[in-house]
Structure 1
């Protein structure tokens, strides 16, 4: 299997359990890695034979725009859409990071990472 990785997709979103988070928002970073058989695209040089990373980025940005209380929830939605919309993907790893989280300490980021193989 071959990999495609999108690193540090930056969004401004409104995730969190606190009411304030739903109003003021925060900066987020998302890393996405997929695995798929890319042999055909290596030979044909055609976009329809690979996983389009523009499509992957669109899934991430659209799902990050939908408010969730938990990062796990938004990460799982991203994962579900990748599997649903791109049949050739066999594995997804998604990491969602909240930058400067409001947790009463000097913390650069909090990250949730999920990994799943296609069933």
Structure 2
């Protein structure tokens, strides 16, 4: 199978367990890896034979910048579910959500959640 990757999409959201996170918000980064057959699109140069990544970006943006989730696991799950429901030619999707500045008094480059969902699991 072929892959389409959307890397380091940046959005501002209000996700987190702590009230300050829901009030102040912060930047989140999302990576998607879609597995699908791109051979027809490659042969025909036809957008209808693939996934419009600009459209995918807008769908992810609506989710991340929409209602707050307590957990980035839930945010990732919602993105994966939306992609698999909207794009029937996508066989599976990997979603990575990065919260670069979690509100802890420790120093590291953020926390990342990565989930993989297959079409048969929706």
User: How does the TM-score come out when normalised to structure 2?
Assistant: 0.94
CA–CA separation in structure 2 for the residues paired with 1:94 and 1:55: 16
Give structure 1 stretches of 5+ with no counterpart.
none
Q: CA deviation at 1:12?
A: 1.0
Moved more, 97-106 or 84-93: 97-106
Structure 1 counterpart of 2:63: 63
Aligned-CA RMSD value: 0.8
Give structure 2 stretches of 5+ with no counterpart.
none
SS at match of 1:76: helix
User: How does the TM-score come out when normalised to structure 1?
Assistant: 0.97
Structure 1 counterpart of 2:93: 92
Deviating beyond 2 angstroms after TM superposition, the runs of 4 or more aligned structure 1 residues are: none
Aligned length: 119
